[in-house]
C-alpha cells in the first residue's frame, strides 16, 4: 500500500481525539479509492486532467 496520507497531519486534524493505528490504513485505502474514481471519471470524459468535479 502506498502512503497517500501524512500521519502527522491527520493527528493534528484530530488533535482532540485518539487515533488507532489501523485508522491510517483504512483512511489511506479510502483516499486511494477516491483518487481512482476521480481518475476514471476524467478518463470517461476524455480528459487526462483530473479536476475537482471528478470528486
CA torsion, points 8, 24, 32, 4, in degrees to nearest 10? 30
Rounded to two decimals, the pTM is 0.84
pLDDT digits (tens, 9 = 90+) for 1-55: 568 999 999 999 999 999 998 999 999 999 999 999 999 999 999 999 999 999 9
Domain containing 38: what range? 7-45
Structural domains of the chain, count? 1
The three cell numbers locating residue 37: 474514481
- Is 16 part of a structural domain of the chain? yes
- Is 39 part of a structural domain of the chain? yes
- Is 2 part of a structural domain of the chain? no
pLDDT at residue 35, rounded to an integer: 97
Amino acid at each position: 500500500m502506498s502512503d497517500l496520507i501524512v500521519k502527522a497531519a491527520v493527528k493534528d486534524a484530530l488533535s482532540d481525539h485518539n487515533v488507532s493505528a489501523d485508522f491510517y490504513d483504512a483512511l489511506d485505502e479510502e483516499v486511494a479509492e477516491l483518487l481512482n474514481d476521480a481518475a476514471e471519471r476524467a478518463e470517461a470524459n476524455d480528459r487526462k486532467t483530473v479536476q475537482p468535479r471528478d470528486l
